[in-house]
Chain A
Amino acid sequence: MSDNPNTGLPAGKAGMSLIVKTITRLTIGLILLFGIYIVMHGHLSPGGGFAGGVIIALSFIHIMLAFGKDIAAAKISRGLASNLESIGALMFLVIALLGFLGGSFFLNVLAKGRPFKLFSAGTIPLSNIAIGLKVGVGLFAIFLALVILEGAKRK
């Protein structure tokens, strides 16, 4: 078997079988893209920051299931995940604080645009992106922590 081009490891060493890995390699991009789509269209269609964030996290968890935790942790380490999560929360708070420019906490100060267009609804899409970031990396960090704890217990 040839070396895996993405990981450098011999294929089949960590994670699941070659079939699962190949399918995963084909689908994770689509899953991630779908998550981003749900986040971006949160103000227009069902879903939003939380649902989209969960889907984004699922795409990374998918990598972890198929290729093992080391490959996934190389994409987003635990420290980076925890920092990004804090940044997501602070972003949301800062967007809320922007409202004070117009005189009220959480006031929607940006231009509202035309309804049902992607760039509309003022601060709502920005808040959705902040929530998506927080939920996405937060859920991934929880899963990573569980996997690491489980590994530590086995040793």
Chain B
Amino acid sequence: MNIIPLFVIIPLFSAFFISLTGRLFKKGFIDAISGVSCFLLLALSFYGLNALNHSANQAMVYKVGGWMPPFGICMVLDGLAGFMLITVNLVAFFVCIFSINYMEKYTDKPKFYTLFLLMVTGMNGLIISGDLFNLYVFLEVASIASYALVAFGTEAEELEASFKYAIMGSVASGFIFIGIAFLYGFTSTLNMADMSRILGASPSSWLVPFVSVLFLMGFGLKAALVPFHAWLPDAHPSAPASISAMLSGVLIKALGVYAMVRIFFNIIGISAGYLSALMFLGALSMIVAVILALSQWDLKRLLAYHSISQVGYVFLGIGLGTPLGILGGLFHLFNHSVFKSLLFLNSGAIDYSTGTRDLREMSGLKEKMPVTAGTSLIASMSIAGIPPFNGFFSKLIIIFACIQKGFYGYALAAALGSILTLASFMKVQKYAFLDELKEKYRNIKEVPPAMKFSMVCLAAICVLGGILLLPSFKFFLSGAAGVLLEGKEYAGIVLGAAAKP
């Protein structure tokens, strides 16, 4: 049996099953259902990429309802989709394990799991979809679940952040929707491959720039690029820590970066002007957000600003448009989702034990919480780009790619951003973990084992991330970069793969 629809079926079924029966069973059973479904998704994404790697085609196409593309909806698993699925489901699995203990302090665990799994459904569906409108529907599923999750604590501050996020998210969805409507009006099809083919066969001089701007605004808002970033530093810290890890770790990448590059590179085709806009916005986010982060005292808010800055690196790399740049950008996307979710889980662990997020309140926690301190040190060094952690390699590739293409200014900006990141994480380490332990924290304990397990596993990936560049693992990244580099040949590949039985 073909595995592709299972990426949507499993989390959707678990979500509503938990919502229906959550109150009837013991809590352990619900934890088990969501844990098992996240594990299955992770296993399936590895299996899917492996199957793709061994198949003769460059893409696997699943025809929903047996309808032949361009009619009906199809699901496409290619190198980029496989790469994103692994990233999303890896983070989702560890976050799910972390939530088993962490979410005890909130009241309604079944509702949390329902919304969490719906968000995973949305992201998986968006990544796997081969139909532009279906992509939009899944984007909304993931967004609406995340609006609710940001407000999960139902305090005034959280509700305000969620409201702001919902408004900005709806504006973004509106732009994206109008863009899709124009594309549909011009091409009379919603299948992404077919749309790409028609746009290639009969180009339009006004349509492409117009929808490009709409999509840049829409997905730029979802990805929190700098002029569109104002909602993120409120929304991400307000959510429970495990959800902040999902939002910063994978949601902005799946909804923002992935959807944007998929549409631009594979459907409407890229132009030099568009790429330079992407690079400029990326570099701007990189510098502006990191400067804003330097002065923050709320740990989660500081991390949220760094998410904006690190997404800037991803856009800078992808915007270069060269094979090396795209590889670096995607590698940084993967690395950032690992270390940023780890950092948010660390902040959640500190919050769990001490009950504070303010850096000035903490001090000397290393003594009482060695696992949190150790993993946080690893993640901080990864995000700052210290060798041999994974963040170093991806930033190095991006800087090399800038120099290779002659953009010395952007290379310098990337290096500067990295130094400022290091400065801000030295502040985190000093205030949170070093110095004397405060008297009121004499009796705190290290977090429970499930939370430790997630943090240690993610830290191990940070340390070992560099091996993805070795030739035997290279297909993971180069397959994904290859999809973007193939550009509008995507149409032929997908329609060709669909024509085979």
| Contacts of A91-146 to chain B: CB distance below 8 A | 93, 96-97, 99-100, 102-108
- Name the segment of A20-28, A44-52, A81-89 touching the other chain: A81-89
- A90 contacts across to B, CB distance below 8 A: 13, 16-17, 20
Residue B19 is within 8 A (CB to CB) of chain A in the complex? yes
Q: Tell me the bound Cα distance from A123 to B66 in angstroms.
A: 14
Do residues A86 and B19 form an inter-chain contact, with CB atoms below 8 A? yes
Do residues A99 and B16 form an inter-chain contact, with CB atoms below 8 A? no
| Contacts of B1-21 to chain A: CB distance below 8 A | 1, 5, 9, 12-13, 16-17, 19-20
- A89 contacts across to B, CB distance below 8 A: 12, 16
Give the contacting residue for B19; candidates A82, A103, A108; CB below 8 A.
A82
- A105 contacts across to B, CB distance below 8 A: 5, 9, 62, 64-65
A105 to chain B, nearest CB (A): 4
Give the contacting residue for B65; candidates A85, A86, A104; CB below 8 A.
A104
Chain A interface size, as a band, is: 10 to 19
Do residues B5 and A86 form an inter-chain contact, with CB atoms below 8 A? no
B1-44 interface mask toward A, CB cutoff 8 Å, 1 = contact, 0 = none? 10001000100110011011000000000000000000000000
Given A97-B9, A105-B5, verify A86-B64 contact (CB < 8 Å).
no
Given A105-B5, A105-B9, verify A93-B16 contact (CB < 8 Å).
yes
Do residues A83 and B20 form an inter-chain contact, with CB atoms below 8 A? yes
A17 to chain B, nearest CB (A): 35
A138 to chain B, nearest CB (A): 12
Do residues A107 and B13 form an inter-chain contact, with CB atoms below 8 A? no
Which of A87, A97, A103, A105: most chain B CB closer than 10 A?
A105
Q: Secondary structure at chain B's binding surface: helix, strand, loop or mixed? A: helix
- A96 contacts across to B, CB distance below 8 A: 9
Residue B63 is within 8 A (CB to CB) of chain A in the complex? yes
The residue on A at minimum CB distance from B23 is: A79
Do residues B20 and A93 form an inter-chain contact, with CB atoms below 8 A? no
Do residues B66 and A107 form an inter-chain contact, with CB atoms below 8 A? yes
The residue on B at minimum CB distance from A123 is: B65
Q: Tell me the bound Cα distance from A89 to B114 in angstroms.
A: 12
Do residues A108 and B65 form an inter-chain contact, with CB atoms below 8 A? yes
Q: Tell me the bound Cα distance from A97 to B64 in angstroms.
A: 11
Do residues A104 and B66 form an inter-chain contact, with CB atoms below 8 A? yes
- B63 contacts across to A, CB distance below 8 A: 104
The residue on A at minimum CB distance from B12 is: A93
- A107 contacts across to B, CB distance below 8 A: 65-66
| Contacts of B28-81 to chain A: CB distance below 8 A | 62-66
Given A93-B9, A93-B12, A97-B9, verify A104-B64 contact (CB < 8 Å).
yes
The residue on A at minimum CB distance from B73 is: A106
Given A93-B12, A93-B13, A97-B9, verify A106-B20 contact (CB < 8 Å).
no
The residue on B at minimum CB distance from A100 is: B1
A76 to chain B, nearest CB (A): 16
- B17 contacts across to A, CB distance below 8 A: 86, 90
Q: Tell me the bound Cα distance from A104 to B2 in angstroms.
A: 9
The residue on A at minimum CB distance from B13 is: A93
Q: Tell me the bound Cα distance from A80 to B373 in angstroms.
A: 46
A112 to chain B, nearest CB (A): 13
Given A93-B9, A97-B9, verify A106-B16 contact (CB < 8 Å).
no
Do residues A86 and B9 form an inter-chain contact, with CB atoms below 8 A? no
- B9 contacts across to A, CB distance below 8 A: 93, 96-97, 105
- B5 contacts across to A, CB distance below 8 A: 105
The residue on B at minimum CB distance from A84 is: B20
- B20 contacts across to A, CB distance below 8 A: 83, 86-87, 90
- B62 contacts across to A, CB distance below 8 A: 105
- A83 contacts across to B, CB distance below 8 A: 20
Do residues A86 and B16 form an inter-chain contact, with CB atoms below 8 A? yes
A79 to chain B, nearest CB (A): 8
- A93 contacts across to B, CB distance below 8 A: 9, 12-13, 16
The residue on B at minimum CB distance from A104 is: B66
Q: Tell me the bound Cα distance from A100 to B20 in angstroms.
A: 24
Q: Which residues of A contact B (CB under 8 A)?
A: 82-83, 85-87, 89-90, 93, 96-97, 99-100, 102-108
Q: Show 21 A/B contacts (Cβ-Cβ < 8 Å), sorted by A.
A: A86-B19, A86-B20, A89-B16, A90-B13, A90-B17, A90-B20, A93-B9, A93-B12, A93-B13, A93-B16, A96-B9, A99-B65, A100-B1, A102-B66, A103-B66, A104-B64, A104-B65, A105-B65, A106-B64, A107-B65, A107-B66
Q: Given A93-B13, A103-B66, A105-B65, 5 more contacts at CB 8 Å?
A: A86-B17, A90-B16, A90-B20, A93-B9, A105-B9
4 shortest A-B CB distances, which residue pairs?
A86-B20, A106-B65, A105-B5, A104-B66
